[in-house]
């Protein structure tokens, strides 16, 4: 027959009792600690995911703002260039108009000076012609002719 050792039975009972005691007093607490730790880790993972999502949203928002600011900066630069070109064109037009006015004024002054010079030359020519005529007349005409010419002239004025 099979021999059954009682020590083996007591060993088995000891292990069973030890297991039941551990299960009753220790496994429940260990399970609670493990569950709490698992819940803490899950919460931390969820929080990390939320923070990553927030960071991604902020990054996207900042990138959009940066793009907007870059576009706005380019627009401001473009407007400034356009205004500068318009102002340069305006200044150039004003300078051309001023130059044209100065040219016209100079031409008018030249024409006036030219006319004045012509008048002076005419007066000088007339004066010289009178002087030449006087010299010619003095040399060629006698006093009698002079007096008859003067008398005719004076009598001609009276008739008129």
- What is the rounded CA–CA span in Å between residue 96 and residue 88? 12
pLDDT in tens, 21-63: 988 888 888 889 999 999 999 999 999 999 999 999 999 999 9
What mean pLDDT comes out for the span 71-97? 93
Residue 106 vs residues 54, 94, 95, 102, 114: alpha-carbon distances, Å: 76, 18, 16, 6, 12
pLDDT at residue 153 greater than cutoff 60: yes
- Return the pLDDT at 129: 73
Condensed to tens digits (0 to 9), the pLDDT of residues 85-141 reads 999 999 999 999 999 999 999 999 999 999 999 988 888 887 877 777 777 667 665
With 70 as the cut, is the pLDDT of residue 156 above it? no
Query: How confident is the model at residue 133, as a pLDDT?
Result: 72
Give this prediction's pTM.
0.41
Q: What is the pLDDT of residue 146?
A: 64
pLDDT confidence of residue 62: 94
CA–CA dist 42, 32 (Å, integer): 15
What is the C-alpha to C-alpha distance for residues 28 and 21, in angstroms, rounded to an integer?
A: 11
Is the pLDDT at 157 greater than 60? The verdict is no
- The ranges assigned to domains in the chain are 6-159
pLDDT at 159 over 60: no
**How many other CB atoms sit within 10 Å of the CB of residue 80?**
10
């Amino acid at each position: 027959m099979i021999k059954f050792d009682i020590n083996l039975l007591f060993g088995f009972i000891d292990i069973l009792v030890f297991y039941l005691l551990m299960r009753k007093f220790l496994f429940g607490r260990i399970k609670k600690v493990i569950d709490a730790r698992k819940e803490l880790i899950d919460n931390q993972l969820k929080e990390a995911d939320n923070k990553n999502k927030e960071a991604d949203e902020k990054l996207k928002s900042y990138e959009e703002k940066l793009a907007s600011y870059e576009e706005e900066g380019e627009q401001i630069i473009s407007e400034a260039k356009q205004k500068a070109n318009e102002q340069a064109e305006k200044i150039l037009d004003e300078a051309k108009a001023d130059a044209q006015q100065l040219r016209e004024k100079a031409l008018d002054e030249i024409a006036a000076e030219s006319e004045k010079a012509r008048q002076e030359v005419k007066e000088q020519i007339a004066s010289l012609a009178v002087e030449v005529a006087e010299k010619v007349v003095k040399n060629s005409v006698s006093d009698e002719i002079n007096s008859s010419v003067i008398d005719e002239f004076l009598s001609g004025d009276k008739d008129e």
